[in-house]
């Protein structure tokens, strides 16, 4: 009798466990990127790596996941005196034991020397990000992106222990040219700098020129460079201030104002991008560039998902779909998946973006 009660309790326990597990999996409460990496945890034990522009949106997640994987992280910020740029990093798990902050500026040659000392990998993410019209694009965007990247690589080239540089480029360096994207776009596509300059796409020009400069410098100086080309990044925010793209996406959610005039979004979760950077270092066979885009969708599809998740936003009543029905294309996932990137479903990324914006009180719902 006693035994059969125990057996019953066992059965109830296992049933509850299996139902909960399948619920979590099916309801996608864990982003896939984080699920798939637990087995690689502590791969970084004993390894020192550096992240430039560490207080930024993507870099903060990269620092967090590197610490979670056991790495010792050197993180560069522009000012050590600004708590908004440092406190969220210092509060990360493992930061007390394995995170050191360094001050470095892209416009100062040699600025990154001490941060790179003893590192096996440099993750170069720092670059100004804005699509706004600028008084002086050369000084505000192009110089920090291009000359700044060369400064970073010159510092990296001096480091004996360095095995690889992972450079954060963008889809902005892939698809912008006189020929609009169509069919399947992959890593063989390159944005045209003349087109970017003539159409005043300064950010796109900065990323295109910076990637070319990075590839050329690395070839000439024997650096092993792997390039990550993310689409438009969404997902939860770790830093306490809004970065440019999260602010633009929040404005789209709140007002319906398109971030991209053609109403087409190449979206990817920030956690998938951070993992892609780590895989680009850890996989010895990684090479060249990697387009990392989870979904290419029209804004109408985003609004439909948001309407389902948050009916109070009133997307179905508030906005008529004004987007021009430009021809949709796709971004190849072949290389990204060969790297091991396991994309987070769009619905999860959208939900986590909104929950994070609400939690940080940027957005009221």
Binding site for ligand NAP (CB under 6 A): 53, 55-59, 78, 85, 105-107, 125-129, 144, 148, 168, 170, 207, 230, 232-233, 243-245
Q: Is 85 a catalytic residue?
A: no
Alpha-carbon distance of 107 to 297, in angstroms, equals: 37
Using the 8-state DSSP alphabet, how is residue 234 labeled?
A: E
Nearest alpha-carbon partner for 130 in 81, 166, 170:
170
Q: Which residue has the tokens 């020929």?
A: 179
Closer Cβ to ligand NAP, 32 or 206, answer by number: 206
Contact call for residues 355 and 31 (beta carbons, < 8 A): no
CB 295, min distance to ligand NAP, A: 14
246, exposed or middle or buried, with CB in 10 Å at 0-12, 13-18, 19+?
buried
CB 76, min distance to ligand NAP, A: 7
Active-site residue among 207, 303, 333, 335?
207
CB 292, min distance to ligand NAP, A: 9
**CA distances, 267 to each of 289, 292, 349 (Å):** 18, 9, 9
Nearest alpha-carbon partner for 331 in 205, 174, 166:
174
Half-sphere exposure of 254 (CA within 13 A, CB side): 14
**CA distances, 23 to each of 44, 61, 107, 109 (Å):** 31, 26, 50, 52
Closer Cβ to ligand NAP, 84 or 283, answer by number: 84
Alpha-carbon distance of 85 to 60, in angstroms, equals: 10
CB 234, min distance to ligand NAP, A: 8
CB 361, min distance to ligand NAP, A: 18
Closer Cβ to ligand NAP, 126 or 166, answer by number: 126
Closer Cβ to ligand NAP, 233 or 331, answer by number: 233
Closer Cβ to ligand NAP, 85 or 164, answer by number: 85
Closest CB to ligand NAP: residue number: 56
Q: Which residue numbers are catalytic? A: 207
């Amino acid at each position: 009798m006693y035994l059969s009660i125990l057996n019953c309790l066992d059965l109830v326990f296992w049933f509850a466990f299996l139902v909960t597990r399948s619920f979590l999996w099916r309801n996608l409460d864990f982003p896939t990127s984080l699920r798939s990496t637990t087995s690689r945890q502590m791969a970084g034990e004993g390894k020192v790596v550096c992240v430039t522009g560490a207080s930024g949106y993507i870099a903060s997640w990269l620092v967090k996941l590197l610490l979670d994987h056991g790495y010792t992280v050197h993180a560069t910020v522009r000012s050590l005196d600004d708590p908004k740029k440092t406190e969220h990093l210092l509060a990360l798990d493992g930061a007390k034991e394995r995170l050191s902050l360094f001050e470095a500026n892209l416009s100062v040659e040699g600025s990154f020397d001490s941060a790179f000392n003893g590192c096996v990998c440099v993750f170069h993410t720092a670059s100004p990000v804005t699509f706004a019209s600028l008084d002086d694009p050369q000084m505000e965007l192009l110089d920090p992106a291009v000359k700044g990247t060369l400064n970073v690589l010159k510092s990296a080239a001096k480091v004996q222990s360095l095995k690889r540089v992972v450079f954060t480029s963008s889809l902005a360096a892939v698809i912008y040219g006189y020929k609009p994207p169509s069919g399947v776009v992959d890593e063989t596509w390159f944005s045209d700098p003349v087109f970017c300059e003539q159409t005043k796409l300064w950010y796109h020009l900065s990323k295109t020129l910076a990637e070319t400069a990075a590839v050329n410098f690395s070839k000439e100086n024997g650096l092993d460079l792997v390039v990550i080309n993310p689409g438009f990044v969404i997902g939860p925010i770790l830093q306490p201030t809004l970065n440019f793209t999260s602010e633009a996406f929040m404005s789209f959610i709140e007002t319906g104002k398109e971030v991209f005039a053609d109403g087409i979004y190449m979206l990817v979760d920030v956690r998938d991008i951070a993992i892609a950077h780590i895989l680009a270092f850890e996989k010895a066979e990684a090479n060249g560039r990697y387009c990392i885009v989870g979904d290419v969708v029209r804004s109408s599809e985003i609004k439909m998902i948001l309407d389902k998740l948050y009916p109070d936003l009133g997307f179905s009543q508030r906005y008529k779909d004004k987007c021009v029905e430009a021809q949709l294309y796709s971004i190849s996932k072949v290389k990204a998946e060969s790297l091991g990137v396991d994309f987070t479903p769009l619905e999860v990324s959208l939900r986590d973006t909104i929950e994070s914006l609400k939690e940080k009180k940027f957005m009221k719902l």
